[in-house]
């Protein structure tokens, strides 16, 4: 089937500063914020149906978003500043709150809403819906970039790029929700509290106390040249949906094992994805393989981080085993590895990670690892700028990380699994993912 051609006509970018004066200051970023592997932007896409009466009431869609953006930046003024390298520690980043503003672009497309919805979710051409900043390095890119594209006949696409060094997923979601509330002139600001910076609460200890081995950073031997394979093969985006009934069946598979293991839906689906990815990739039995997954530690720390904290407050939990053990033992074995990884995340462990990251050359071991990020708690499908709930909400693109998102078009707790894989293994991966029985099926 021939897909619609997505083309846009864009206006010149403009800067949107906070609508009121904000503090001029330089703010500290924690070791969790300025990790090397977080020096990119979290990119969201929201699709709305803007009805005729919406057009009459609020005029230009871009102006509504732009005006609200200036107002929300009064509260989230660091996002209107600029990153820079610290003069004292060149490898460390900080934020200069200078009120320079977010980069904002308005655009139009001749695609209709119906034609846009025929495109795969996500698809490569979506990148045209977010202005690409020409810069020498990540530090030179504004922390917040927004593009509003009006489709022919009433559709509106809002794309947002937020520097991961300033916000984690929950923090960026908090910002977007507050922005949307201001845009629709909501009188109740619950349940989103006022933003809290507070990165000083995550300073490393003096002296440093690295009390754990931190396997998430420890490299393992690449026995099968996996790094080269992933970099040279053509990666293709996949999206597979799991219904609530299928997730329940996965959990029953775990609970039916003789060891009496119980689990959450996240633990069951993540373990299943891990094993299916390994099987599809055809990795040798002796290869050590990791599952890295982001874990929110706001409530793990003592004292807990205050409500409204929107910085990076996650660490990568790490489960590790060999290919043979993961594929030959029951699903409950992989689930138990995840549960043990989560159980390690005490206040002491998180503080040890922060101290470990004082070495700015450190980064997670991505060579023999599958990385999973859970987006189900971000409530992106509730982001309402005044046109109702989005028809679609999710990442602008999915690359090598696996993303778990609540389905935007299916009820009953359905979950979409987004992952990019070498084209040569797509068929095997889909086959194993659909074979939710714990008995390993024969390869297709």
pLDDT value, residue 157: 96
User: Is-same-fold flag (9-202; 226-434)?
Assistant: yes
CATH of 226-434, one of 2.70.70.10, 3.50.50.60, 3.40.50.2300, 3.30.559.10: 3.30.559.10
CB 423 within 8 A of CB 236: yes
DSSP collapsed to 3 states, 102-123: EEEEEEEEEEEHHHHHCCCCCC
Residue with tokens 């809290």, as numbered in its chain: 196
Catalytic annotation, pick one of 164, 177, 272, 392? 164
CB 79 within 8 A of CB 100: no
CA quadruple 325, 331, 336, 339: dihedral positive or negative? positive
Catalytic annotation, pick one of 222, 257, 324, 384? 384
CA quadruple 248, 253, 258, 262: dihedral positive or negative? negative
Q: What is d(CA 266, CA 405) in angstroms, rounded to the nearest whole number?
A: 11
Q: What is d(CA 109, CA 62) in angstroms, rounded to the nearest whole number?
A: 13
CA triplet 92, 292, 259: central angle to 5 degrees? 150
The 10s digit of each residue's pLDDT in 287-312 is 999 999 999 999 999 999 999 999 99
Per-residue pLDDT tens listing for the chain (444 residues):
566 788 889 999 999 999 999 999 999 999 999 999 999 999 999 999 988 766 656 668 889 999 999 999 999 999 999 999 999 888 899 999 999 999 999 999 999 999 999 888 888 889 999 999 999 899 999 999 999 999 998 899 999 999 999 999 999 999 999 999 999 886 555 556 789 999 999 999 999 999 999 999 999 888 888 877 777 678 888 999 999 999 999 999 888 766 677 899 999 999 999 999 999 999 999 999 999 999 999 999 999 999 999 999 999 999 999 999 999 999 999 999 999 999 999 999 999 999 999 998 899 988 889 999 999 889 999 999 999 999 999 999 766 689 999 886 666 678 999 999 988 999 999 999 998 766 444 556
Q: What are 238's strand-pairing partners? A: 419
CATH of 9-202, one of 3.30.360.10, 3.30.559.10, 3.20.20.80, 3.40.50.2300: 3.30.559.10
Count CB atoms within 10 A of the CB of residue 213.
Answer: 10
Question: What b-and-e string marks burial along 37-65, b requiring 16 or more CB atoms within 10 Å of the CB?
Answer: ebbebbbbbbbbbbeeebeeebeebbebb
pLDDT value, residue 188: 56
Count CB atoms within 10 A of the CB of residue 266.
Answer: 18
> Is residue 427 among the annotated active site residues?
no
pLDDT value, residue 189: 53
Domain ranges, ordered by start, for the chain: 9-202, 226-434
Q: Could you tell me the two tokens for 299?
A: 């409530």
pLDDT value, residue 373: 93
pLDDT value, residue 191: 53
> Is residue 384 among the annotated active site residues?
yes
pLDDT value, residue 2: 66
Report CA dihedral (86, 88, 92, 98) to the nearest 10 degrees. -20
HSE-CB at 4 with a 13 A cutoff on CA atoms is: 17
DSSP secondary structure of 349-387: HHHHHHHHTTSTT-----TTEEEEEE-TTS-GGG--SSS
CB 167 within 8 A of CB 310: yes
């Amino acid at each position: 089937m021939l897909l619609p051609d997505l083309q846009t006509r864009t206006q010149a970018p403009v800067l949107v500063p906070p609508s009121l004066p904000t503090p001029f200051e330089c703010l500290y970023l924690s070791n969790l914020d300025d990790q090397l592997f977080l020096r990119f932007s979290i990119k969201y896409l929201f699709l709305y149906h803007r009805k005729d009466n919406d057009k009459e009431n609020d005029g230009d869609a871009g102006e509504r978003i732009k005006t609200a953006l200036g107002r929300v930046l009064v509260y989230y003024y660091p996002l209107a500043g600029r990153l820079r390298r610290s003069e004292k520690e060149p490898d460390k980043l900080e934020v200069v709150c200078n009120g320079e503003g977010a980069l904002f672009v308005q655009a139009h497309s001749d695609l209709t809403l119906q034609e846009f919805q025929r495109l795969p979710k996500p698809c490569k051409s979506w990148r045209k819906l977010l202005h690409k900043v020409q810069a020498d390095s990540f530090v030179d890119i504004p922390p917040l970039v927004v593009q509003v594209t009006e489709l022919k006949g009433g559709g509106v696409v809002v794309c947002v790029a937020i520097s991961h060094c300033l916000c984690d997923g929950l923090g960026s979601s908090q910002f977007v929700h507050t922005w949307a509330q201001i845009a629709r002139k909501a009188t109740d600001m619950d349940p989103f509290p006022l933003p809290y910076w507070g990165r000083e609460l995550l300073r490393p200890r003096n002296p440093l106390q690295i009390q754990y081995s931190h396997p998430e950073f420890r490299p393992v031997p690449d026995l099968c040249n996996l790094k080269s394979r992933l970099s040279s093969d053509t990666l293709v985006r996949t999206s597979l949906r799991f219904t609530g009934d299928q997730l329940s069946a996965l959990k029953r598979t775990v609970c039916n094992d003789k060891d009496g293991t119980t689990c959450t839906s996240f633990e069951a689906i993540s373990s299943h994805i891990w094993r299916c990815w390994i099987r599809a990739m055809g990795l040798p039995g002796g290869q050590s393989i990791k599952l890295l997954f982001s874990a929110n530690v706001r409530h793990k720390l003592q004292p807990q981080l205050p409500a409204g904290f929107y910085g990076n407050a996650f660490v990568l939990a790490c489960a590790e085993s060999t290919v043979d053990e993961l594929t030959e033992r029951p699903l409950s074995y992989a689930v138990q590895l995840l549960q043990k990884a989560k159980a390690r995340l005490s206040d002491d462990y998180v503080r040890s990670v922060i101290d470990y990251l004082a070495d700015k050359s450190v980064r997670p071991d991505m060579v023999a690892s599958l990385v999973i990020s859970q987006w189900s708690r971000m409530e992106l499908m509730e982001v309402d700028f005044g046109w109702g709930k989005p028809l679609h909400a999710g990442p602008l693109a999915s690359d090598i990380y696996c993303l778990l998102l609540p389905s935007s078009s299916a009820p009953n707790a359905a979950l979409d699994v987004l992952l990019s894989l070498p084209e040569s293994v797509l068929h095997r991966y889909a086959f194993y993912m659909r074979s939710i029985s714990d008995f390993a099926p024969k390869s297709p």
